[in-house]
Chains A and B, each alone.
Chain A
Amino acid sequence: MRFPILCILCALGLTSASVHATAGKPSATGAIRGRVDIHVERSLRDSRADAAALGMGGSRDPQERRRSVVYLETAPRAAFEQNEEHRGRMDQRNERFVPHVLAIVAGTYVDFPNGDNTYHNVFSLSKTKDFNLGRYAAGRSKAVRFERPGVVRVFCDIHSHMSAFILVFAHRFFAVTDEEGRYRIEGVPPGTYTVVLWNETVHGDSPRRTITIGENGGDTDADFSIK
């Protein structure tokens, strides 16, 4: 997990100088689209083997381990010049964080509403952002602002099987894959970019592709495969 975090942090530390986008000249923007195929078996370690429990517990939805985030390693300068306030949401539902993977722009507030009829205690000890929201009941929500880019692992202090990822970017050029692994990054100015894939099952080098958006914009394909 460390390498992807470093990748994101290093990548976001670069300036737009490494991007061959044409500055100051109005031109059409393009989109990067593609599909991420994951051939990795679903992790078997979905939760701890709790020998002290008196039963199976309630049935839970499987973790969305197939969700990936595709992002530009470097982004056009204009991407950093936004001052809008964003808001994200990560539910606690049926003893799961929903969504399991959330991608946001730095400065975004994320709400953590509790939709279960039991306490949850959302916390993170990640270097990017450490926080502890304490225990709160159904119907209540607390929010956290994520200022720094990086990967934040989120857990529940009460339920060991609950975990999620929040990827914080300094720019808006990223997308979370849908149920079928498809993604689309819109509004990318012409230039040559490195597109990187993040998935929690990838350890070591993150898959990446170099693509070019032409002066006329249009769609550019970049597919990934994780084995």
Chain B
Amino acid sequence: MCTWRRLAAILLLASACATPARAQITVSGDATATIGSRDDIAFFNYTDYEHNALRMFRVALSGMWRPSERLAFLTELRSENAEHLVPRALYVRVHPFKGRTFDVQAGRIPPVFGAFARRSYGADANPLIGYPLAYQYLTSLRPDAIPGSADDLLFMRARGWQSSFPVGITTPGPGVPIVSAYRWDTGVEAHAAAGHLDGSIALTTGTLANPRVDDDNGGRQIAGRVGWTPAVGLVLGASASRGEFLTRAIGDTYAPLLGRKTYAQRALGADAEYSRDYFLIRGEFIESSWNLPALNLPRIDGPLKARAGFVEGRYRLTPRFFAAARIDRLTFSKIRGQRFFAGAPTPWDAPVRRMEAGGGVYLMRNLVSRVVVQRNKRDAGRVTRRTFVSAQLSYWF
């Protein structure tokens, strides 16, 4: 039995001793229908479930059973495009000390890194329709396949939606984003708050880019975030994570050969939010690096880095109408190939810029309609510029 499962069992037993309170069951959910133009060539908005984020029907159902004041079981089931029902969240929450903000959660748990992936309520959760690049855009990296050389990686620039490499699983498949907002990881986490500070730390099976239910490499990810609220309305956060990225098959094969024992994804993040009266501004910056085995010439020297940052804002024009916009950028560190770009230093994936703007109207308190225009520009690929218009109807209860 792995560590987090043992811990979950201990926590459950401890909670059984807690004073039983009146059991409470809470059920909520949301349904979101998004209509937009197709994106079958550029794949700017494809998610790691291979769905277009601007053209999707999503249903989510959440449930919480709270048998005592100190114990709760939570789940969230999601279905995208009516294909399959996925338990995005399934965990136990233990609140051991009454009167203190300290909780432990174990199972398929919400991410602690960054801020975007935990947003959940109303139009604030995502004021627009598209996701930030850091949380959605698929880079060409895969945990189950690696490039043999720098040229192999450069050949896959702008092809994250269907990348393929000669080592590992050679069939084409989707790459990974820096942080997946569509899947949650499995493990155990603790969260505490006191005064203006709060902190979270999590030990999980997968990584930010590749959250998992089952273990595929024997490694663990440790991630944490510290938040500071110096004034009401202003939240500053700093996050960090490190987790084994490559699958066991690749790691075991090449680690002895190359002397390196771990091939990890490391990430640092900073997030900020300020709101007042009718406006809300948020921003996040994330730098992620991946260590891959350097196999053949031309070798990939050093870790592959990706940097992403976005700033978004929302303004409530009237009780019903709001306007929102986001500026987004994703860049990559440079490597040298031989066959491509004449050996000049070149970003290992194609940098992307995105601007999204639009507005929405609350038809009811829990029925929101949005229309956005999203403009994308990428430095490589079959299609380098695409503009999408998308409309969304979102209902929650």
Q: Which A residues contact B (CB, under 8 angstroms)?
A: 44-56, 58-59, 117-119, 123-125, 130-132, 134-138, 153, 155, 157-160
Contact of B26 among A45, A52, A118, A153 (CB under 8 A): A45
| Interface flag for B102 (CB, 8 Å) | yes
| Contact present for A55 and B101 (CB under 8 Å) | yes
| Contact present for A54 and B118 (CB under 8 Å) | yes
| Contact present for B232 and A49 (CB under 8 Å) | no
Which B residue's beta carbon lies closest to that of A129? B319
Indicate whether A49 sits within 8 Å of B365 (C-beta atoms), given known contacts A54-B105, A58-B101, A160-B122. no
Q: How many A-B residue pairs have CB under 8 A?
A: 113
| Contact present for B277 and A136 (CB under 8 Å) | yes
Residues of A within 8 A of B117 (CB): 52
- What 1/0 flags go to B166-188 for Cβ under 8 Å of A? 00000000000000000000000
| Stretch from B87-95, B257-265, B330-338, B342-350 at the A interface | B87-95
Which A residue's beta carbon lies closest to that of B316? A132
Given pairs A48-B120, A52-B119, A135-B278, 17 additional interface contacts (CB within 8 A) = A47-B26, A48-B396, A49-B27, A50-B121, A51-B88, A51-B120, A54-B189, A55-B95, A119-B232, A125-B364, A130-B319, A130-B320, A132-B278, A135-B275, A136-B277, A158-B121, A160-B122
| Interface flag for B25 (CB, 8 Å) | yes
| Interface flag for B379 (CB, 8 Å) | no
Indicate whether A46 sits within 8 Å of B110 (C-beta atoms), given known contacts A51-B75, A124-B319, A132-B278. no
CA distance A130 to B365 in the complex (A): 11
Looking at A54, A55, A124, A132, which has the most chain B CB atoms within 10 Å of its CB? A54
| Contact present for A132 and B318 (CB under 8 Å) | yes
Which A residue's beta carbon lies closest to that of B396? A48
Contact of A54 among B124, B200, B280, B320 (CB under 8 A): B200
Per the 8 Å Cβ criterion, residues 66-88 of B in contact with A are: 72, 74-76, 88
Q: Measured between C-beta atoms, what is the minimum distance from A196 to chain B in Å?
A: 25
Indicate whether A119 sits within 8 Å of B26 (C-beta atoms), given known contacts A51-B75, A54-B118, A153-B365. no
| Contact present for A119 and B275 (CB under 8 Å) | yes
Report the 10 A-B pairs with minimum CB-CB distance, sorted nearest first: A55-B103, A49-B64, A54-B191, A134-B277, A132-B319, A51-B89, A48-B28, A49-B62, A51-B76, A137-B232
Residues of A within 8 A of B120 (CB): 48, 50-53
